[in-house]
A and B are shown apart, each in its own frame.
Chain A
Amino acid sequence: MPDLDRDIQDTLASPSGASAQLPLDASAAAAVKLGRSIVVTSGKGGVGKTTTTANLGTALADAGRSVVVVDADVGLRNLDVVLGLENRVSKHLLDVIEEKCSLDEALVRDRVRRNLLLMPAAQNREKDDVPEEKMAQLVRQLQERFEFVLIDCPAGIEQGFRNAVVGAQEAIIVTTPEVSAVRDADRVIGLLPRAIELKLVVNRVRPAMVKKGTMMSVADVNAILRLDLLGVVPDEREIIIATNRGTPVIDIEGSETGAAFRRIARRMLGEEVPIPSFEDKRNFVTRVMSTLGLGRS
C-alpha cells in the first residue's frame, strides 16, 4: 500500500522555485518588462489542459495580474466555451496574424475579471494555416502587454503542438495518473526545446483509488517524468458541471479542484505553498504541526 504522505514528501524535496522573471531587454529604448509565456501541454488529449489554462488564468487574474489566455487549438477550439465566452468571439488569432484585424479587435474580455482576456482560436481553419514564426511574433506581442500569456496547446505532437510551443518560455506539462497519459507526457517532454522551463501538474487524482492500489500515485508518475512538481489536482464531478456552465471551477464554492488551482497559481507567483495530501481534509502543514503538538487539531 503506497504511503501517500511519504510520496508527497519525496516530491516536495524539489519545490518549485520563484517565478522566473525575464530580464529586461536592455537593447530596447523604453525598457519593456516582458510577461511570462507559458504553454500548457500534455500530448494526450482530455487530461485537462484547457481546464487548467482557464482556471490558472482566472486565478492569476484574481491575484491582480494581467493575463491573456491563448487558444492555440485552431479548428477545435474549446477555451472560449470553458470560460463562457463563446458568444463574444468574433475575430480570432488567425485574423490577427493575417492582419485582417488588430490585436484588440480579437481579444475578448472576461465577463467577470477585467484583467483576464482571451485570444480565441479560429474554428474553421486548420493548423497548417498558421506559420510558426508568425505565432512566435504574436506571443511576443502579447508578452509586451500582459504579465502572463498562457497558451492552451492542442492534443498531439503535430503542427498544432509545434505552433503552440514556439512562443513559449515555460511549459506546464499536464498529466493524469494513468499509464497512457504519462507515456504521452514523456514523449512531449522529449520534444520540447531544452531552453523551456518545465513544471508538472498531475490532474484527476483519486486518492481512494491510489490507496486501493488501482491508480498510480503522484510519486509513481514523477519517478518516470522527473519534473519539478507544480501541483496536484483532485478529481471531482464539479469539473464537469463547471465546464458545461462556462464557469471556472475555482468559482465553485467548496470545490477541492478549484482550491488546488488557486494554490498552483500562488506557486506560479513565487509563493511556497505545500502540496496537501488529499486523504486528509486538513492540509499537510497543519497535519505536521498537530503531530508536533503545535497547531490546532
Chain B
Amino acid sequence: MQIKGTKSGLLLHLYDRPLAGAVLDLRGKLDASPDFYRGSRAVLMLGHEGAEAAELAAVVATLEQYGITADGAVCDSEASAAIARSAGLRLVAASVAAAPRKLDDRTGPARNGKTKRSHGAHEHASDADEHGTNVYHKGTVRSGQSLEAEGSLVVVGDVNAGAELIAGADIIVWGALRGVAHAGARGDDAASVYALRLEATQLRISRCIAAAPPPDKKRAHDPLPEIATIRDGRIVIVRAEQPHR
C-alpha cells in the first residue's frame, strides 16, 4: 500500500488484496505522524480486483479517524467500481485524480462570479445541482492550459491543441476544439461534448477514450457543428443537425 501526496490531496494505492491488510498498513504509516494529513482529501486507487464492501468501509473509516476524507476512487474494472459505489465513493477518472488546475493569468478569472451566475441560469437546473457548479469561459484556451468544471463547461472561443478541458457533465465549445476534452469525468456516461468544429486530439467521456480520426480535408473548409456521445459503450460523433436523444 502506498500513499502519494499530490497538490490536490492524497493518492492511496490499494491494489493488494485482502484490503484488510491495507488497514493495518495505513495505521502503521499514519501513526508515525498522526496529524500530518489531517484535513486532506484522498482518492483511492482500487485497481482491478473486487473486495468485500466491509473491508473498503474499514479503510474509509480508518482514514476518517486521522481526519482524512476519502472522496473518490479510481477503478480499473466493474468489480472494483461496484465496491467503490457501495462505500459511497464517487468514481474518478485517473486524469481527474490529479491536482486541481489553476487558471494561468492569460486565461482570465472566468470562474469567479460567472460560476455563481450560470448556476441559476442553466437550463437543466437539475443537472447542475447534481454535478456541481458550471464554468463559463470566454477566449482562446491555449496549449498547456487546463479548465475544469464540476458541472458543465462552456468555452466561447477556441481550445488549442495541448489544452485540456475536464467537466463532470457536458462540454460545449463555441469555436474549434483541438485539444483534449473529458466530459462526464466523474463517471457520467450520459455526458456529451459539443463543438462548432470538433477537431479534438482526443475525446474522453466518462471512462471511454477515443483518439481523433485522421483530418477530413474535404470538411476542413466547411466544418459542421458536431456532438460526441457514448453509444453502445463507444464514443460516436454525430452532426449537430441530426436529432439528439
Contacts and interface: CB of A to CB of B under 8 A. Distances in A.
B55 to A, nearest CB: 45
A190 B158 contact: no
Considering residues A187, A190, A191, A192, which has the most beta carbons from chain B within 10 angstroms of its beta carbon? A190
A237 interface: no
B105 A186 contact: no
A186 B162 CA distance: 9
B21 interface: no
A190 B108 contact: no
A189 to B, nearest CB: 5
B201 to A, nearest CB: 11
Interface string A179-213: 00001101101111110000000000000000000
Interface residues of B, number: 17
Given A224-B160, A226-B158, A187 B143 contact: yes
B162 A187 contact: yes
The number of chain A residues touching the other chain, given as a range, is 10 to 19
Given A190-B143, A190-B144, A190-B145, A183 B106 contact: no
A191 B158 contact: no
A183 B108 CA distance: 20
Contacts of B119: none
B140 interface: yes
A186 B104 CA distance: 13
Given A224-B160, A226-B158, A187 B142 contact: yes
A191 B104 contact: yes
A91 to B, nearest CB: 34
Contact of B105 (A183, A184, A187, A192): A192
Interface string A158-195: 00000000000000000000000001101101111110
B91 interface: no
Contacts of B178: 224
A183 B161 contact: yes
Interface string B158-198: 10111100000000000000100000000000000000000
Contacts of B158: 224, 226
Given A186-B143, A187-B142, A187-B144, A192 B106 contact: yes
Which 7 A-B pairs give the minimum distances between C-beta atoms?
A190-B142, A186-B143, A187-B144, A187-B143, A190-B145, A193-B105, A186-B142
Given A186-B161, A190-B106, A190-B163, 18 more contacts: A183-B162, A186-B143, A186-B162, A187-B142, A187-B143, A187-B144, A187-B162, A189-B142, A190-B104, A190-B107, A190-B142, A190-B144, A192-B106, A193-B105, A194-B105, A194-B106, A194-B108, A226-B158
